[in-house]
Each structure stands twice: as C-alpha cells, then as structure tokens.
A and B are shown apart, each in its own frame.
Chain A
C-alpha cells in the first residue's frame, strides 16, 4: 500500500484557502501512476491509494483528492497536532502507515522533515527528491539538480519524497474517498519540538512565491538594492511574485525568503522571467519546474539565456521599463 502525506494550503494562499498544495497533488499523482511498483509488486491495481491530512480537511481539499483518485483519506486532527511538531506529526503518520509498501510526501521542507522522522521511527530507508521510479529502483536529484542518482532501497517499507514538479497533477475519474478520522495523543517527548509561535512578516512568506503563476526573477544584474522598482512593477502587472538569486540575498538587497534555488524556494510558475540572472546550476535547480522561461540579460551567452524559451538581450532596467509601459499602454 502507498500512503501519501498531503499538505493543505494555509488561509493566505493566493488560490483561496484550504486547497491541496500543488506539490502534494503532484505527489499523489506520482503515487497513483506508479502504484504497482511502489506497493512492492503486490496485487497491483486493486491496492488502495491512501493519503493523510493533518489539521483541517476542507470540502475543497476532499473534492480535489477525489479527483486525484484517492481511495482513503486519513484525517488526523486533535489538540496535540494543532501546532506543528515534526515528531508528533510523524508519529501520527506512523500510526496509519502500512507495513509493506511506501510512505511518501512531496519534497517540501515539511515533507522532508516528516519523512525523515517516519523513516527513523520505522527503521526504513529513505530517498529524497525522487523524480522517477521503475522496477530497478528510483531516480533522484542529487548535487542540487546537477546529476541524478539511481538507487535501490531494501526493506518491506520504503520512505520517499518526490521532487517538486517530477510530474504534473493529473485528474482521473473521481473516487468517493472513505474518510477515517484519527485523534492522536502525542507523547510529552514528541511535543518538545512544537512551534510555540509563528511570526508573520510579509517578508517571510514564501507561499506567494511557490504558488505564483508568474515569477519575475532578479539577479546581480539589477545592480543595487535601489534597482528593483521595474521588476517589482512587472511582477505587480502580472499578478506575480518576485524571486531573487542568492547573490541578491547575500548582498542584502532583498530578504532570503525571496531566494529561489537549491537553498531557497523551488518554484513552478507558468512563466518565469529571469532578469540579470546568469543561470548557475544552483539557481536552475529552483526554477527548472517553470513551464516557460524568459530571460532578459545583457549577455547572450549566459546559461539562463541559452536555457530559456525566449530571451531579450539588453539592459534589464531599460527592457523591463519598456515592457511595463507596453502593458500599461495595451490595458488603456
């Protein structure tokens, strides 16, 4: 059997509240389309696809999970799991985990942390950032996306996280998921690592970035902390978010929460517009999930330009200002 941990969007998510996170929808699709292998060669097609949701389960989320082909939803909710504690949440997942097959999540910070706990608690092996699976084992991203590792996990139960955008969420004939509710009580030890408070500052919120349909990227080419007016205006015109390279955060031009890449957010917009970004492998690791990439760069040899779908060669300030003007003109 396969159990997928599903993350629900917070109330501030751009697409409204309470939906299934995009990356979780991808993980569910990955599980559904690979059940036979993930279940460990058991009676393939009849094996049910189960998910676990911790916290509120909205109608919207239940409906989405039905369209993703889920057979059973473990709805886990109790005072002990209201605030996030990886240990307590992981134990709740362990309590509903199969003895054979796969426990998995998408490769988000929560997904990674919980799966590591689940693997440690169950004595199972774990593979992070899996992109594909076949009879010979898994393929997963390593070296920040610069290479792939082929590996085989031993044991009756395996734990994995699916790399963001390893597949697209795919709707199927809607199911009527059975809902099992659980109200776990956590041990005192497992509550030691509970979130005691959440400080919400706009600058910390990465959900806008990871869920945005359009991301305008800005790199060293912007030139200084004062150079972001045009790119911010463009993001605003397109209802998108600003994402930046590590050089930009290291220089203190923008907050780290806006960083995209191996050590920042991984994004999957419909369009990524990279302005003054060279396209280093560690940056690419975070943006390769974009459906279309547009590069604006003075250097036509830059990796970002070479790997983009469309490019404009030129100074980003001049080019982006002209784009903003053109958008405003067409909207008049």
Chain B
C-alpha cells in the first residue's frame, strides 16, 4: 500500500508570542519550527502500514524552501521520498487552495504511475486550525474521507478478500473516538484520512534513518496560484491578563479553605 502523508511546517509555540509588522502573522523570528502531533502520528501510521504491505511512504508539504527541514525530519523516521510544493507565500493560500494544490500533486504522480492508495493529513493544522483541508482534498480527488482517526489497521477479514485481489489491500479498518466509544470504519481504498493523535506513538529517528533521510529523493514542484485566497484579515493576541488568583494557603493546612470554596461554588454535593 502506497501512502502519501501531508505535513505542515508550523511555529513551535511554547512561550510568549508576538505579531509581525504586517499584523497578519506571528513573528517567527525567535521561534523554532515543527509539525503537529497529529501529523507525527500520521507519519507513524503510514510507516507501519506501508511496512506491513510492502508499500512506500511519501511525505508532502506546501510551503517555502524552509519546509525541507520538516520533510527531512519525517523521512528520518522511515518515509521513502518527499515532495515540496513550493511557494514563496504559503500565507496567501486558503484551505481550498491547499487542497487543490495537493490534489494536483496526487494526480500528477498518478499519471507518472506513482498513485497512492491512501492520503493522510493531520486532523487540523496546529497554526491555522481550519479543520477542512483533508475533507476538501477528498472531494477534489473524489475519494471517501474520514476525520479524527487515531488508528488504521489491515482488517483480517479484509486481508482475506484482498489476498484474492492482486494489487494489495482494497480496504483498511479505521478507528476514531466517537461520542459513545471507539467507532470502527471499513474504508475502501483509495481514500483520504485525517489523523488525530492518540492511537500510535511516533518513533524517534535512528542514526541510519537520519543518514538515509539526507539522501532520500525530494521532488520540488511549483505551487499553483491560489484562487480562493486566505480569508484572514488580521491576527490578534488575547489581552494580557493580570493574575487575579487568590492563594488560599500553602500545603495541606489550606484544605479547609479550599473545601469552603467548593461549597461556595456549589459543587460540594
């Protein structure tokens, strides 16, 4: 099973953030960059599934040249090759534009006999949090799509059916957390899946993995011009809140004061 995983270079925000001069973005100056936890899990799922089926994993991103850092990091944990859909200004792309650019890359590769059975994306990007690129991509490609999936498995039952068919598995079992428990889907391929963290533990890159990643093939293509555009007008930071905490005391002696507070708040049944 050949799998394409879409990742995104995002700022690693653990401390204070500030806005840049345009007011449309945060100041990336002092920040490191990473990919979201959802995408790390998507890469891990892809490496496991492809490994079990003799398939290949391709990592793809739309971004500037800087995103090669994130592509290489994902190659180092077991992916085979990478695609950079290059643009000088990723901030000009809206979710529809990103979905279209990825779909174009998928089609181009398919014409080149490098079709993929599964496209994985993160459930939502850590920066823009649009919650729609995977679904729009699926409609572009006319494939079924699931979101919020934590685990993908080759179904035993499916494996039997698939053994009879030639070109590898024709479906996967997908697991996601629903309102009443774990929901299981039997997803026919080719498909798109938006992955949510929680089902697998992303691995750390090994030294040979890093060596291999440096030499892995990296395809660079120009991004199509954005048609819809990014609807963002400006970013705002939440107002700095001065602390209004009431410290009830130190150590176990403060327990009585806290139980009084719980009583006042009406939660002491």
Which residues of A are in contact with B by a Cβ distance under 8 Å? 7, 10, 12, 84, 86-87, 107, 109-110, 112-113, 115-117, 119-121, 125-129, 136-137, 139, 141-144, 146-154, 161, 189, 192-201, 204-207, 213-214, 238-240, 246, 249, 256-257, 259, 262-263, 270-271, 280-281, 291-292, 294-295, 300, 305-315, 318-319, 321-323, 325-327, 330
Contact = CB atoms under 8 A, between A and B. Distances in A.
Interface-centre pick from A86, A149, A327 (highest chain B CB count, 10 A): A149
B258 A148 contact: no
Given A149-B232, A198-B180, A319 B255 contact: yes
A326 B228 contact: no
Chain A residues touching B, majority SS: mixed
Contacts of B36: 263
B233 to A, nearest CB: 5
Contacts of B135: 113, 116-117, 119-120
5 contacts: A116-B135, A238-B268, A281-B13, A307-B241, A309-B244
Contacts of B198: 249, 256-257, 259, 263
A128 B180 contact: no
A310 B245 contact: yes
Nearest to B155: A196
Interface in B223-256: 228, 231-238, 241, 243-256
A322 B252 contact: yes
Nearest to A113: B147
Contact of B182 (A119, A120, A204, A291): A204
B228 A125 contact: yes
Contacts of A127: 231
Interface string B32-57: 00001110000000000000000000
B132 A116 contact: yes
Interface-centre pick from B177, B196, B247, B258 (highest chain A CB count, 10 A): B258
B215 interface: no
Contact of A151 (B127, B146, B232, B245): B232
B227 to A, nearest CB: 12
Nearest to B11: A143
Contacts of B245: 295, 305-311
B222 interface: no
Contacts of B249: 312-313
B267 interface: yes
B29 interface: no
B129 A195 contact: no
B95 to A, nearest CB: 7
